[in-house]
Copies of this chain bind each other. A is one copy, B any other.
Amino acid sequence: MPKTTGHGDREKYLVARLAKKIPSIGSFGNRAVPFGIGDDSAVLRPSGQSEFVVSCDFSLEGVHFRGATHPAVSIGYRCLVRAASDIVAMGACPRYFLVALALPAEKTPPAAKGANWLDSFSSGMGRAARELGMLLIGGDITVNQSVSICITVIGELPAGLAISRAGARPGHLIYVTGTLGAAQLGLEILLRGSTRKPAPAKLLQPHLYPRIPVGFAQAVARRRIPSAMMDISDGLSTDLSRMCESSRTGARLFAAQIPQVDAHRPALDPLQLALHGGEDYSLLFTAPPRRAPLLRAIAAKTKTRITHIGEITRSRKILLVDSNGHESPLEPRGWDPFRVKNQ
């Protein structure tokens, strides 16, 4: 693994332990990644007319997860999915990742006998890597008081097919994949407990182990269907405002059409969860109306739920239209790094 910090043997041991549970390029590399883990850097050999897509993403204890609340296996799973979501939202095929990991010494083996934090973390990350078809190609391991993870993800796609968030045009339809607010509901239940039976395992799933529509994103990108696409990481209201700002447009959303969860708690409003709840990693995208039939066909083929929730407007306002046709401005009130801490 490129650049392990500190005394050789301990870090080398931790890297080996990590790589054991995560699909990795190994010590010898392959045709596309000709150097293995253990050198200063990973080398990537582009195949034919492809482009690489790169993004990096923090997952920090106390900000993005709580050490006492979130299981290590979920932390490992989520941080990779969360990072991969950014390259999937460009239409790219996720390929490789680097992990920079800082953690307290007591979270590493063999401090605790049997199961330990690093092994569980690696299992979760390995599961996500297998589901996404990604290979670990490098990183950095060091010690810190709290857990800090920074994941760099690299995807590949045919040249010229990347979908930006800036291409939405007036008259284009706005779509989302999946159900919105499910991850936020899972977080609320995790932090405050459920008032309903059955046990909330199924309700926690979208928060602890989010899934992203990889096949759908690639299929629509290959056919150049979306005019703009991004992932909903910080909540629909915030991410739609970013898309509209990048595209220099506005939008009208139809509240009744937004795919919402059953809130399971009287205090939670499904529409508010859907509008402002973060971390669903659903796709938000726009397309000209004439592409609607092909979109539906691809959604059916890739078993992805898509919902038409609004339309792009020339006016720069973002409006929410209720079931009576009443319009009100939609403020960006999505995820805030302080919120988890302050709860």
Contacts and interface: CB of A to CB of B under 8 A. Distances in A.
Interface string A4-18: 011111000000000
A53 B38 contact: no
A165 B40 CA distance: 8
A119 interface: no
| Residue picked from A41, A44, A45, A148, most chain B C-beta under 10 Å | A41
A46 interface: yes
B43 A142 contact: no
Given A40-B86, A142-B337, A144-B63, A56 B152 contact: yes
A66 interface: no
Contacts of A53: 41-44
Nearest to A161: B43
A109 interface: no
A310 interface: no
Q: How many identical subunits does the complex contain? A: 2
A6 B142 contact: no
A338 B231 contact: no
Contact of A102 (B3, B58, B234): B58
Nearest to A10: B336
Contacts of A7: 238, 332, 334, 336
Contacts of A96: 54
Interface stretch (A132-140, A182-190, A200-208, A297-305): A132-140
Interface residues of A, number: 73
A241 interface: yes
B337 A162 contact: no
Given A3-B86, A35-B164, A42 B57 contact: no
B54 A152 contact: yes
A230 interface: yes
A31 B133 CA distance: 29
Nearest to A332: B8
Interface stretch (A87-95, A120-128, A262-270): A87-95
